[in-house]
Chains A and B, each alone.
Chain A
Amino acid sequence: AQSVTQLDSQVPVFEEAPVELRCNYSSSVSVYLFWYVQYPNQGLQLLLKYLSGSTLVESINGFEAEFNKSQTSFHLRKPSVHISDTAEYFCAVSGGAGNMLTFGGGTRLMVKP
């Protein structure tokens, strides 16, 4: 079985400040890791993913996440946030039989002017 823990349910931050959204997972097998973003009144969209290779992955809008196997973490970071980054962010893991996605509880990022 696998599980995902997002340690912060809400993260308020001022515009242009850096942010880190934390994600820890547990799994008995090798995993693939994902971050999805959900803007208000929309479905989830893939932000970035780690499948293999470099442990640092980046999105097109400046977010990055680093896979840390020893700490079983996949934290999401951005050096300078914008108002438009206000959304809910979900960490997800897949692995094992069936490769089903397991989602964390989500972190609501609130960017203030």
Chain B
Amino acid sequence: DAGVIQSPRHEVTEMGQEVTLRCKPISGHDYLFWYRQTMMRGLELLIYFNNNVPIDDSGMPEDRFSAKMPNASFSTLKIQPSEPRDSAVYFCASKGGGLKAGELFFGEGSRLTVL
């Protein structure tokens, strides 16, 4: 399996622009997670899905952030409008076999810079 695939790997945009990050989870995994990593706040869980349904979005910072999972093989995280404080590395991760303790598989991340 190719692992969790994220795109783009790097994105530089200007404040106010819309940003869309994409994720393809590992085939057969039924949980998908979006994390944000910054130096100041470390690794933060933004939202997670189970069988394409959002379960907990309490980590989404504000209404400018939205996430969707239209099918089992694709998810997006959108920021509109973007702000400089959104600059971070955004990770997608997936997990199979139910949520009972097990391994999360992470993508390589999307590094976002908002100028």
Could you list which residues of chain A lie within 8 angstroms of chain B, going by C-beta atoms?
32, 36, 41-46, 49, 51, 90, 94-95, 98-101, 103-106
Contacts and interface: CB of A to CB of B under 8 A. Distances in A.
Contacts of B101: 32, 49, 51, 94-95, 99
A45 B43 CA distance: 14
Contacts, number: 45
16 contacts: A32-B101, A43-B4, A43-B91, A43-B107, A43-B109, A44-B91, A44-B93, A45-B106, A49-B103, A98-B55, A98-B99, A99-B100, A100-B45, A100-B56, A104-B42, A106-B42
Interface residues of B, number: 18
A78 to B, nearest CB: 21
Nearest to B42: A105
Which of B48, B104, B106 has the most chain A CB within a 10 Å cutoff? B104
Interface in B33-78: 42-43, 45, 48, 55-56
A103 B106 contact: no
